[in-house]
Structure 1
Amino acid sequence: MDVQKENHTQNSSSENDSLNLSVQQRLFFIVLVATMGALAFGYDTGIISGALPYMTLPVSQGGLNLTPFTEGMVTSALTFGSAIGAFVSGYASDRFGRRITLRSLAVLFVAGALGTTIAPDVEIMVLMRFILGFAVGGGSSTVPVFIAEIAGPKRRAPLVSRNELMIVSGQLLAYIVSATMSLLLENPGMWRYMLSLAMIPGALLFIGTFFVPASPHWMVAEGRFNEARRIMRKLRENPREIKNEMAQMRQNARDARRGPPAKALLKEKWILRLVMLGCGMGIVAQFTGVNAFMYYTPIILKSTGLGTSASIAATIGNGVVSVIATFAGIRAISRFGRRPMLMAGLSVVIAMQLALGAVLVLMPSGIEQSLLSLGCILVFLFFMQMCISPVYWLLMSELFPMKVRGVLTGSAVAFQWICNATVALAFPPLLSQLGNYTFFIFAGINVGSLIFVAFMLPETRGKSLEEIETHMRAHFGEE
């Protein structure tokens, strides 16, 4: 009898392990498909740095004869398109669902990449970069929300953080492709090949959306309970999880139907405070100056006397460090709260900006200054990509209530793209006017960001999306 009981226990354990593996495999596949948008996001934002030198060549030599002004237009068109895409896609994902929105964005990824590849002149290139930016921005606001709603409370943090991993992997891939093509190909029109590769993740995203489920949270919000339950059976490990989450989602949906309509909800004080928090987090993420380092590391290092080739090679180092740091962040984000990670990351960011400013201002030019400067930049990027960027995208997926989650996430992410463009545009003039004292200014801004996080950001770790919504309503509600 005991032997039979033991065998039954072992068989049950084996069945549970098989079920768990199956659930993990399904979630892995869904996240892999969704983050093809993040891979395209990273590749599209990174590849332009390698393509621009060839695009500035005369038309007779295979370029587009870009001037400094049109070079800026080509570069910034993606950023402005991203801001609009993030906002519009947020509305579309609430109205039509996360999966349909991602499928539509995949079409734009492919169309934009193809358009930039065959663009005959600057005007078409700017238009196509804007369309590509629309897809990039839409993906940046929709992908984290889709993953968060698919993943469940236990797996939400590490799975949403894979979005950031794919972004930095796409950027690293772009840097490697640029360097490899520059070394191996002698065709000055190679920039078209660089840009054309962006079609691949867009095509994979489009195909993949036919093999992944819709968001069960969105299904429940639309009153499609049976379909949501069928999806949940494939994504959760036991009936208890399904029962608890479905109960929370249905209660949340009932409360939303009894509450004010979406337009009226957007005017409520606690929602407006949440939007301000989301926009404030965009300032925290972008005014670290991360894009100043990602875009202008060669310029910073050349000012120390380092050669051009070595300065460009250091950009690949940025990408490698970012990928390693994001892996570390995925592990850390499951163990630590959002607030402690942000505050630790900002503390190191401030220290590295002060150290970099001191090295550049106080030390004479030479190899020691170059190595110390690069060290400060790499430590900065490591803690930025481990502690700040993954937490930002995770918060964007979980801060806002279900009824208006898409549009509010889109609005907050759109503001983040505006901050991105502001830093990218302001850094060169600041560096020109203030020199290396610019890094002390960024350090001061980040002290303000640290205070903001310490006093304004509630902790969301360990809560379901419905529990977070209840917590936020209480935290930011009427006094």
Structure 2
Amino acid sequence: MKQAIETIPANKKLKYIKKIAILATFGAFLFGYDTGVINGSLSFMARGDELNLSPFMEGLVTSSLLFGAAIGAVIWGRLADRYGRKSILRVLAIIFFFSTLGSSIAPNSYVLIIGRLFMGLAVGGVAGIVPVYLGEMAPSDIRGSLVCQDQMMIVLGQLLAYVMNGILGNAFNVSYIWRFMIALAAIPAIILWIGTYIIPETPRWLAIEKKSDQALVVLRNTRDDKTADQDLKHIEQNIKKESSRGHASLHDFHTPWIKRILIIGITIAVMQQLAGINIMMYYGTTILEKTGFSTKAALIANIGNGVLSVLGTTIYMFFLANRIKRRLAWIGGFCFTTTILAVIAILSHYAAGLSILPYIVITCTMLFVFVDQMTLGPVCWLLLSEIFPLHVRGLGVGIATFGMWIMDFGVGFFFPILIEIFGLSNTFWIFAVIGVICIIISFFIIPETSGRSLEQLEDSFRRS
């Protein structure tokens, strides 16, 4: 019976799975655009003739999306386990579309905060679900690079946001231009919605729902028949081990080895935010303005961060993901980014007022973004998509990303306040010290997942 299943020709399978990945990662693209667009639009919406934002309200407008994302990470992860990854992505596309429109026409800061809160619910959903979707769709030999496509689309979304901010902010000398910057995100939301009618459900979720024939079709469309048959067998064996527990719940994390994975996952997610990447991604324009750039010059200069973000992710995705160990990339990246934070802290104090300072700082921020997106950024999402056992994968990734978004919320909310109280130099020293602590923790908790199937990883954690 299995031999009679019609599948995509062998020479087109790689192309097919790449198409699936591109369509699914439009969710990640929206994640990137919606988190990146605030970097340039904030300066315009804060003006007196628009929303007249104080530093406190700037932090609240920026971080409201992140608070929504924290909630969304938990809600959607569990729903994705119950109703499927594809179905939930379709719902998230609709939320993206309407929250984008609502935010772009907001008459005051309170309506904008509500719009960005709902946008955050969708961002939190795709942040957890898209890596899981890709990890469950990908053959083990290309899983690293395919899951990293999620990170690639995030940084491409951020880059487009920076480019559009730079173009619109310099071409149109009107304060309300921020509304158009935000509204552009409606286009990829429509593409994601259409894409959910094209992409298949993941074989692991189909097998859980006792749709093994459909699961086999998906597997044979994305890998050779022999590997597909073996993968389905492994998936069914793992499902059988978990079947007595029913649908995933928080009670599952009382099991010691699963609790250990959850603690590792949350710690990885939180440390990724404490590294400081979103200081650059949300407030890059603000940092450059404080070192001496004009608003228009800062908008253009900040595009460099977006370009190097894409370049770093590209290098990891195509050259490092399947060649370098996850643990080495993580710890090495953390060491470098922490050093850059310390350099910015030193220079912004001792070179304050010098005409060369803005150019030194933009060079440092570009280096920071480049290395982070070549190491910490993609490795974080890759590890989260790999370490959790099948039965609780959606919920586990959701809880871990909840921790990530709560920390992201804290960084996004408090950064402008910290600068106001302590100044730029001391604020960067705070993050540099935190970075050192994270490096020490990483030596003890980061697992090595390279070169093993998801089922092998689960067995390894179960025995440890």
For this structure pair, what is the TM-score category when the shorter chain's length is used for normalisation?
Answer: over 0.9
From 30, 55, 59, the counterpart of 2:45: 55
1:4 matched to which residue of 2? none
Range that drifts further, 166-175 or 49-58? 49-58
Q: What is the alpha-carbon distance in structure 1 between the residues aligned to residue 432 and residue 173 of structure 2?
A: 43
Which of 251, 258, 268 is the equivalent residue of 2:237?
A: 251
**In structure 1, what is the equivalent of residue 429 of structure 2?**
440
Q: 1:105 to 1:336 in 2, by over 3 A?
A: same
Structure 2 Cα separation of the partners of residues 440 and 57 of structure 1: 30
From the superposition, tell whether residues 215 and 373 of structure 1 become closer, same or farther in structure 2 (CA, over 3 Å).
Answer: same
- Which of 28, 31, 54 aligns to 1:41? It is 31
Q: Which residue of structure 2 lines up, in the alignment, with residue 11 of structure 1?
A: none
Q: Counterpart of 1:265 in structure 2: which amino acid?
A: D
For residues 134-159 of structure 1, give each alpha carbon's deviation from its aligned partner in whole angstroms, at most 9, with x where no partner exists: 11111101000001100121111101
Residue 176 of structure 1: CA displacement? 1.1
What residue in structure 2 maps to residue 416 of structure 1?
404
SS for the counterpart of 2:197 is coil
Give the Cα separation in 2 of the matches to 1:149 and 1:411: 18
> CA separation in 1, counterparts of 2:427 and 2:38?
25
Does 201-210 or 48-57 show the bigger shift? 48-57
Aligned partner of 1:374 in structure 2 is 362
Structure 2, unaligned runs of 5 or more: 1-7
* Mapped pair 1:458 → 2:447: yes
- Would the aligned equivalents of 1:338 and 1:460 in 2 still touch at CA under 8 Å? yes
- Tell me which residue corresponds to 1:154: 141
- 1:89-140 Cα shifts (integer Å, max 9, x gaps): 0010001010001011111111111222333444432222111111111110
SS in 2 for 1:270: helix
Partner Cα separation in structure 1 for residue 433 and residue 61 of structure 2? 32
Aligned counterparts of 1:354 and 1:193: Cα–Cα separation in 2? 37
Partner of 2:153 in structure 1? 166
User: Match for residue 348 of structure 2?
Assistant: 360
* Further displaced range: 434-443 or 65-74: 65-74
Q: Is 1:139 the equivalent of 2:126?
A: yes
Inter-partner Cα distance in structure 2 for 1:205 and 1:463: 31
SS at match of 2:117: helix
Which amino acid in structure 1 is aligned with residue 42 of structure 2? L
Whole-Å Cα distance in 2 between the matches of residues 168 and 162 of structure 1? 10
**Contact 1:305–1:366 under 8 Å retained in 2:** no
SS in 2 for 1:375: helix
Number of corresponding residues:
454
Indicate the larger mover: 419-428 or 126-135.
419-428
Distance 2:198 2:89 in 1: 13
Q: Is the 8 A contact 2:31 2:126 kept in 1?
A: yes
* Contact map agreement 1:306 1:367 (CA 8 A) in 2: no
Residue 119 of structure 1 corresponds to which residue in structure 2? 106
CA 1:371–1:201 in structure 2 vs 1: closer, same or farther (change >3 Å)? Answer: same
8 Å contact 1:45–1:171 — kept in the other structure? Answer: yes
Change (3 A) 1:364 1:69: closer
The list of structure 1 runs, each at least 4 consecutive aligned residues, that deviate by more than 6 angstroms after superposition, is none
Question: CA 1:53–1:305 in 2, change beyond 3 Å: closer, same or farther?
Answer: closer
SS in 2 for 1:153: coil
Distance 1:408 1:112, change over 3 A: same
Q: For residue 3 of structure 2, what is the aligned residue in structure 1? A: none
Q: Which residue of 2 aligns with 1:393?
A: 381
**What is the DSSP-based 3-state SS (H/G/I as helix, E as strand, rest coil) of the residue aligned with 2:323?**
coil
User: Which 10-residue stretch deviates more, 341-350 or 449-458?
Assistant: 449-458
Contiguous gaps of at least 5 residues in structure 1? 1-17
Q: Which of the pair has more CA radius of gyration?
A: 1
1:336 aligns with 2:324: yes
Q: Secondary structure at the match of 2:320?
A: helix
On the 8 A contact 1:356/1:373 being kept in 2, the answer is yes
TM-score scaled to structure 2, two decimals? Answer: 0.92
Counterpart amino acid of residue 341 in structure 2: Q
RMSD, aligned α-carbons: 2.1
Query: 1:194-273 maps to which residues of 2 (within 5 A)?
Result: 194-236=181-223, 238-258=224-244, 262-263=248-249, 264-273=251-260
Alpha-carbon separation, structure 1, partners of 2:41 and 2:294: 20
In the TM superposition, what is the alpha-carbon distance from 1:280 to its structure 2 partner? 0.5
Q: Distance in 1 between matches of 2:313 and 2:293?
A: 28
| Matching residue of 1:30 | 20
TM score, norm. by length of structure 1: 0.89
Of 275-284 and 139-148, deviating more is 275-284
Change (3 A) 1:369 1:184: closer
Equivalent-residue separation in structure 2 for 1:186 and 1:431 (angstroms): 28
Distance 1:302 1:54 in 2: 13
